[in-house]
Amino acid sequence: MTVQIAIVGAGPSGCYLAQALGKLRDDIHIDLIDRLPVPYGLVRYGVAPDHQGTKGVVRQFARLFEKQGVGFVGNLRIGDPEHDADLTLAELREFYDVVVLATGLSADRKLGIPGEELDGIFRAGFLTRHWNDHPDEAGRIPGLGRNVVIVGNGNVAIDILRILAKTPHEFEGSDLADTHTQRLSEAGLQTIDIVGRSPADAARFDPVMIRELGKLSATRFVVEDLPPAEDGEDKRLAALRELGEAGASDADKTVTFRFGWVPERATGADGTVSEAHFHKAGGGEELVIACDTLITAIGFDDDRAMDREALLSRAVDAEAGAVEPGLYLAGWFKRGPRGTIPENRADAQELAKRIAADLEAHPPAGDRPGATAIRARFDTVTDYEGWLRIDEAETADVPDGRCRRKLTLVEDMLAAAGAKRETR
């Protein structure tokens, strides 16, 4: 008997869960399913292009497919047919004994303030996916201006700030396409104001992200709203103080950190943003920053392709991710947009134990067809060998100073995945 397990979402949560399950039982077969023809989700499309060290975790995940027999089924959408899904969740559950949803939360959370839909306002998730050449966003060109306000003070906001502030030569070794560096350079960016609602010692960024900013070559930093220095103070405050003393004397960009300001509204002329308005948290003081670009980086939400709220509402153990025996939720899709990529590993290990215990208590018949039924129904899905051919195409002809030239269209990925198969 082989227990068929489908994990929907081939990003880090799904990969860590497959790792953990493989260590607990040897009578299982796992398929990682993704709506795109390629695996690795957030690592490929969410991690900043200049953080190749973080992206290197895919070498660990590759062993799942190459050494541990995990299958990959790409280019298959699971969920609501109204969101162009190929297969409903109910249909997928007919094929597998266990289904785990690890699709993450990809929709940008809205600020909910007047003026939020003005031209010149962008959301951080869109920008990150665009700079990572995600097929959904590759064709949408953000028109960035010279004076940018970023709302938010988490690691995603710092990623956005760093990409904007870097000079072209500082992307050496990244997979950021030349078209992106050219547009960033042509924008002629001069100022970035990064404004957070929380006080500095409650900001959500990692101090190491702040220290990385101090290495930028053409940027000077101003840090406002800091409390008086104290011995043994919070690491975030220490990193910000160090940053305020860093920066090139001949810098052509100025980055200003501000803390404790609540976004109130965006205003503009002719439909384009020109000012961002804030008020002091807990007080009446107002702050108005002139800008031609406003970027929100305040977290992520469900993309509605799967009815997450309904699943959570009927879960027998929502905290553990157990909807019912045979159906589970993992990663951000389970617990919301909290935690870094490594933190998902501990979460996956706990969920794997829960799934193994449920399988022990409710042994399945072991007669589900798994991916065989999917491949019989869809001749458009990709597999891991197809991903290797896409990977080969993306790394065969890279520009100087880059590690990869991503394919930006699903059609091109599918062609690359299938082209060599015909010649072997």
Confidence of residue 343 (pLDDT cuts 50, 70, 90): confident
DSSP state of 398: P
Q: Are 82 and 304 in contact (CB under 8 A)?
A: no
259-300 tens-digit pLDDT: 999 999 999 989 999 999 999 998 889 999 999 999 999 999
pLDDT at 410 over 80: yes
pLDDT at 170 over 50: yes
Higher-scoring residue by pLDDT: 163, 338: 163
Q: Are 421 and 390 in contact (CB under 8 A)?
A: no
The answer on whether 156 is annotated among ligand-binding residues is: yes
- pLDDT (0 to 100) of residue 306: 87
What pTM does this model have?
A: 0.93
| Structure-token pair, residue 37 | 């023809």
Q: What's the mean per-residue pLDDT of the chain?
A: 94
- pLDDT (0 to 100) of residue 136: 94
Within 32-123, residue ranges assigned H as helices are: 41-45, 52-55, 58-66, 89-95
pLDDT at 353 over 80: yes
Angle at 129 between CA 221 and CA 173, to 5 degrees: 65
Which residue, among 205, 362, 397, has the nearest Cα to 297 in the 3D structure? 205
Q: Which residues contact 249 (CB under 8 A, 6 or more apart)?
A: 220
pLDDT at 395 over 90: yes
For residue 70, give the 3-state DSSP assignment. Answer: coil
Confidence of residue 422 (pLDDT cuts 50, 70, 90): very low
Q: Are 407 and 413 in contact (CB under 8 A)?
A: yes
% residues pLDDT > 90 (the chain):
87
Mean pLDDT over 322-342 rounds to 91
Mean pLDDT over 33-54 rounds to 97
* Per-residue b or e along 119-128, where b marks 16 or more CB atoms closer than 10 Å to that residue's CB: ebbbbbbbbb
Of the candidate ranges 145-159, 241-255, 355-369, the one whose mean pLDDT is the lowest: 241-255
The answer on whether 244 is annotated among ligand-binding residues is: no
The answer on whether 143 is annotated among ligand-binding residues is: no
- Cα 398 to Cα 49, 60, 159, 174, 393: the distances in Å are 14, 23, 24, 11, 10
- pLDDT (0 to 100) of residue 250: 80
- pLDDT (0 to 100) of residue 420: 41
57-94 tens-digit pLDDT: 999 999 999 999 999 999 999 998 888 899 999 999 99
The answer on whether 75 is annotated among ligand-binding residues is: no
The answer on whether 153 is annotated among ligand-binding residues is: yes
- pLDDT (0 to 100) of residue 274: 98
- pLDDT (0 to 100) of residue 83: 82
Pairing of strands 28-33, 272-280: unpaired
- pLDDT (0 to 100) of residue 87: 96
The answer on whether 42 is annotated among ligand-binding residues is: yes
Q: Are 119 and 174 in contact (CB under 8 A)?
A: no
Confidence of residue 249 (pLDDT cuts 50, 70, 90): confident
| Structure-token pair, residue 130 | 């665009």
Higher-scoring residue by pLDDT: 191, 80: 191
Confidence of residue 421 (pLDDT cuts 50, 70, 90): very low
The answer on whether 173 is annotated among ligand-binding residues is: no
The answer on whether 240 is annotated among ligand-binding residues is: no
pLDDT at 248 over 80: no
The answer on whether 340 is annotated among ligand-binding residues is: yes
Within 214-339, residue ranges assigned H as helices are: 235-244, 308-313, 331-335
Confidence of residue 423 (pLDDT cuts 50, 70, 90): very low
The answer on whether 147 is annotated among ligand-binding residues is: no
- pLDDT (0 to 100) of residue 5: 98
Confidence of residue 245 (pLDDT cuts 50, 70, 90): confident
